[in-house]
């Protein structure tokens, strides 16, 4: 096939970054959309060819300076030179002198982009199109000295656009022209096509584009007094870009972000007018300077104060970004400190957060654990000796992996009901958690029982020592707290347990309450091996029911080279990302077709603790793109931006026997039933999904 030929692959290596650069200008990450925008650019051939020369120049220069291709995948390195090239082509007739001018300006733009990116990256703020705004101003100023550059005259067919404008309402024509101006195509045809692309990629972006333009025109007319002038402002495209950036790209789409976008648009109007007054003195267009100033200020300021709705992972469109945020927030609670129970077996929460005794003030976020019997007693016999207490000399394990920054091991254990008020914390271990840097402190170990020392690295689940009664402790117990400082007795921070068992239910990402009996657990090594998939391993299934009955499907285990994430990929290119961490296996993202078996795999096993126990159950919430498809998914993703909580679907799964896991998901319209059988030796033997919403009963068996 032509698409597999070496010639086509070489051609695609060039056109893919070009098309991506076009789509990145409008915050889209689609080479197909970029191809449409590239073709659209030839409504003004002089502009399109000038942009093409600029991109080609950057690609060649990047090779000359040995710039990694990975850098060019980050759109701003290409779309800024692209915009500079188009801005020159918009003003000057293309020829040898102009071509040389474009090449020089494109190289300068790349260098400025690299420099600014280095400065901005330290603050986690994107440079947007700021290099374009700066270099285009430099180019226009320099052009006054060059008599060999000829002004570009618009083609005669542009008059037909004016005829079409008359047929459209004034605000619609103005909106389309503003959209087209982003690509230096200030006409309603180009704007209409761009708006259609926006709607196809994202309904949220389409809404924000319209609201940004209309609100900007209203603010402009209110301040300037002329609605007609506001609707035909040549720099109104700045309000569209600001609205999309603030409302849906860099902040989580929500009522809050939509409100921020309106505020940002109003600020942009002031910035446009101020820039016009200043720059017209030098006869320089405003370009995207107002957009850059407003969005960069918003991003820098809100990230600086720790605004929780800043986007950490930007997906292909705001809907996917929102879906990823909701899934991550509800499924993994990433914004909170997460640790594991510091024990195995059953322990009782003796004192919880903000409790009646010692957990007060800056030390209120702490937990105390004891062990008691069926009668509720924490001791046997008369309870006068330390050895009478069930918790005494029980092993205490590391709740996180990290380095030990403090280890106290010499303090004597107190007699019962005689706490040590001098050495309050007793024998203590403080661990600095990997990656997060949070400190986890465990206190009241038995004297000389520690198995670690200061400076040691400990793994999650490693035995630290034995439970004792040292420090301010009336009976043997474990004291656990999280803190942002390595200092003994520092102020505490709220935390949650990654997972623990309460009765027959596995609980994820919660803090146990006072008087709850919870269990830590050992990972089932055999189950862990069953779900340990190695790179390039292939699983083959045959569909024995449903629309794909009789078809075979193979999944291959791959790894993303940059992130190191593992995923399954099938013959159609559908991918399912999975991982094992903190004692459970989970699927966390899917990309591909709606009828893929990999999508059904997500439904049947979104998460599973690595503990094989008949009757053990757990809950999980599913991402929108997994449970819905087609129009239902598009509508759900759009409406989720107005009400996050209303689009979270919770399901329940559990062991029914040794190797069978059954589940159900309540969608509000029906209950989807799922089942999965683990293979006796390795992997998955069978999976099935019963649903009228999905319009199938799928059943696949491993071959």
Q: 212: part of which helix (H) or strand (E)?
A: helix 203-224
**Residue 693 corresponds to which tokens in the numbers above?**
């919403």
**Mean pLDDT, 10 residues at a time, over the chain (703 residues)?**
55 78 92 93 93 94 85 80 94 91 96 93 90 93 84 61 80 95 93 95 96 96 88 94 97 96 97 90 87 96 92 90 87 86 96 92 96 94 95 97 97 96 96 93 98 96 97 97 96 95 93 94 86 91 77 91 88 93 87 87 92 92 82 87 85 92 86 89 87 59 65
The backbone torsions φ and ψ at residue 392, rounded to the nearest 5 degrees and listed phi first, read -65, 130
Give which of 198, 165, 146, 188 is closest to 37, Cα–Cα.
198
Q: What is the C-alpha to C-alpha distance for residues 174 and 44, in angstroms, rounded to an integer?
A: 19
Q: Crossing angle of helices 6-25/76-91, nearest 10°?
A: 80
Q: What is the C-alpha to C-alpha distance for residues 647 and 623, in angstroms, rounded to an integer?
A: 9
Question: In this predicted structure, what is the pLDDT of residue 6?
Answer: 63
Residue 384: Cβ-neighbour burial (10 angstroms; 0-12, 13-18, 19+): exposed
Question: In this predicted structure, what is the pLDDT of residue 524?
Answer: 87
Q: What is the C-alpha to C-alpha distance for residues 27 and 23, in angstroms, rounded to an integer?
A: 7
| C-alpha dihedral sign at 400, 582, 339, 347 | negative
Question: In this predicted structure, what is the pLDDT of residue 634?
Answer: 86
Give which of 582, 663, 661 is closest to 620, Cα–Cα.
663
Q: Are 86 and 135 in contact (CB under 8 A)?
A: no
Q: What is the C-alpha to C-alpha distance for residues 380 and 701, in angstroms, rounded to an integer?
A: 53
Q: Are 72 and 59 in contact (CB under 8 A)?
A: yes
Q: Cα angle vertex 91, ends 88, 96, to 5°?
A: 60
Give which of 319, 332, 458, 444 is closest to 389, Cα–Cα.
444
Phi and psi based region of residue 377 (left: phi greater than 0; alpha: psi -120 to 50; beta: remaining)? beta
Q: Are 644 and 254 in contact (CB under 8 A)?
A: yes
CA 11 to chain centre: 32
Q: List, in order, residues 6 or more apart from 334 with CB less than 8 Å away.
A: 328
Question: In this predicted structure, what is the pLDDT of residue 12?
Answer: 63
Question: In this predicted structure, what is the pLDDT of residue 481?
Answer: 98
**Residue 572 corresponds to which tokens in the numbers above?**
């159609």
DSSP letters spanning 51-63: HHHHHHHHHHHHH
Pairing mode, strands 478-483 and 492-493: antiparallel
Query: Cβ–Cβ contacts within 10 Å for residue 111, how many?
Result: 14
What b/e sequence results for 573-603 when a residue is b if at least 16 CB atoms lie within 10 Å of its CB, and e otherwise?
ebbbbbebebbbbbbbbbbbeebbbbbbbbb
Q: List, in order, residues 6 or more apart from 467 with CB less than 8 Å away.
A: 391, 392, 393, 394, 395, 396, 444, 445, 446, 476, 477, 478
- Grouping H, G, I as helix, E, B as strand and the rest as coil, residue 532 is coil
**Residue 636 corresponds to which tokens in the numbers above?**
């759900």
Cα–Cα separations (whole angstroms), residue 19 to 33, 40, 42, 99, 320: 8, 12, 14, 21, 21
What b/e sequence results for 653-670 when a residue is b if at least 16 CB atoms lie within 10 Å of its CB, and e otherwise?
bbbeeebebbbebeeeee
- Grouping H, G, I as helix, E, B as strand and the rest as coil, residue 289 is helix
| Unique residue bearing structure tokens 């976008």 | 261
Question: In this predicted structure, what is the pLDDT of residue 167?
Answer: 84
Query: Cβ–Cβ contacts within 10 Å for residue 245, how many?
Result: 25
The backbone torsions φ and ψ at residue 62, rounded to the nearest 5 degrees and listed phi first, read -60, -40
Which pTM does this prediction carry? 0.85
Question: In this predicted structure, what is the pLDDT of residue 328?
Answer: 84
Give which of 64, 166, 157 is closest to 106, Cα–Cα.
64
Give which of 656, 369, 350, 377 is closest to 504, Cα–Cα.
656
């Amino acid at each position: 096939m032509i698409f597999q030929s070496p010639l086509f692959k070489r051609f695609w290596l060039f056109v893919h970054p070009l098309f991506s650069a076009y789509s990145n200008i409008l915050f889209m990450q689609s080479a197909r959309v970029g191809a449409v925008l590239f073709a659209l650019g030839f409504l003004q051939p002089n502009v399109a060819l000038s942009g093409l020369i600029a991109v080609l120049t950057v690609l060649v220069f990047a090779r000359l300076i040995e710039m990694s291709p990975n850098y060019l995948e980050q759109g701003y390195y290409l779309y800024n030179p692209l915009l500079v090239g188009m801005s020159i082509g918009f003003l000057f007739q293309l020829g040898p002198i102009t071509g040389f001018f474009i090449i020089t300006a494109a190289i300068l733009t790349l260098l400025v982009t690299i420099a600014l990116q280095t400065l901005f990256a330290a603050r986690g703020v994107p440079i947007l199109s700021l290099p374009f705004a700066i270099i285009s101003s430099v180019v226009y100023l320099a052009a006054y000295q060059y008599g060999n550059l000829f002004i570009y005259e618009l083609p005669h067919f542009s008059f037909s656009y004016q005829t079409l404008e008359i047929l459209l309402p004034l605000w619609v024509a103005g909106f389309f022209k503003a959209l087209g101006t982003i690509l230096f195509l200030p006409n309603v045809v180009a704007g209409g096509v761009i708006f259609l692309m926006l709607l196809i990629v994202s309904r949220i972006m389409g809404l924000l584009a319209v609201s940004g333009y209309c609100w900007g025109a209203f603010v402009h007319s209110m301040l300037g007094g002329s609605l007609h002038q506001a609707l035909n402002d040549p720099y109104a495209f700045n309000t569209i870009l600001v609205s999309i950036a603030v409302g849906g790209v860099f902040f989580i789409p929500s009522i809050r972000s939509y409100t921020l976008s309106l505020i940002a648009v109003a600020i942009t109007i002031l910035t446009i007018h101020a820039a016009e007054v200043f720059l017209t003195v030098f006869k320089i267009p405003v370009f995207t300077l107002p957009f850059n100033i407003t969005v960069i200020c918003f991003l820098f300021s809100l990230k600086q104060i720790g605004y929780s709705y800043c986007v950490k992972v930007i997906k292909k469109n705001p809907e996917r970004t929102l879906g990823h945020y909701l899934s991550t927030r509800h499924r993994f609670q990433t914004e909170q400190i997460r640790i594991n129970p510091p024990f195995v077996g059953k322990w009782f929460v003796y004192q919880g957060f903000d409790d009646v005794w010692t957990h007060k003030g800056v030390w209120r976020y702490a937990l105390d654990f004891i062990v008691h019997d069926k009668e509720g007693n924490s001791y046997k016999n008369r309870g006068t000796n330390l050895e009478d207490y069930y918790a005494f000399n029980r092993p205490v394990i590391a709740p996180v992996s990290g380095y030990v920054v403090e280890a106290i091991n010499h303090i004597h254990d107190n007699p019962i009901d005689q706490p040590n008020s001098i050495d309050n914390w007793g024998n203590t271990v403080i661990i600095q958690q990997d990656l997060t840097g949070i400190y986890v402190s465990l206190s009241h170990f038995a004297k000389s029982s520690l198995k670690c020392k200061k400076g040691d690295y400990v793994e999650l689940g490693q035995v630290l020592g034995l439970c004792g009664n040292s420090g301010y402790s009336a009976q043997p117990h474990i004291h656990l707290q999280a803190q942002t400082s390595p200092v003994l007795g520092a102020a505490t921070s709220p935390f949650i347990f990654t997972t623990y068992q309460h009765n027959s239910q596995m609980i994820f990402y919660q803090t146990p309450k006072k008087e709850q009996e919870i269990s830590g657990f050992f990972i089932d090594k055999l189950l862990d091996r069953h779900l340990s998939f190695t790179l390039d391993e292939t699983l083959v299934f045959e569909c024995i029911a449903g629309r794909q009955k009789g078809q075979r499907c193979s999944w291959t285990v791959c790894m993303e080279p940059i992130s190191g994430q593992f995923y399954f990929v099938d013959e159609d290119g559908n991918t399912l990302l999975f991982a094992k961490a903190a004692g459970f296996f989970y699927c966390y993202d899917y990309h591909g077709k709606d009828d893929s078996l990999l999508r059904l795999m997500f439904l049947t096993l979104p998460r599973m603790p690595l503990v094989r126990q008949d009757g053990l159950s757990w809950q999980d919430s599913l991402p929108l793109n997994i449970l819905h498809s087609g129009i239902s998914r598009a509508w759900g993703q759009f409406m989720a931006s107005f009400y996050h909580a209303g689009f979270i679907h919770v399901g329940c799964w559990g062991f029914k026997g040794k190797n069978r896991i059954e589940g159900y998901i309540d969608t509000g319209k029906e209950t989807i039933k799922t089942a999965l059988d683990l293979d006796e030796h390795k992997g998955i033997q069978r999976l099935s999904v019963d649903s009228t919403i999905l319009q199938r009963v799928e059943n696949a068996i491993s071959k």
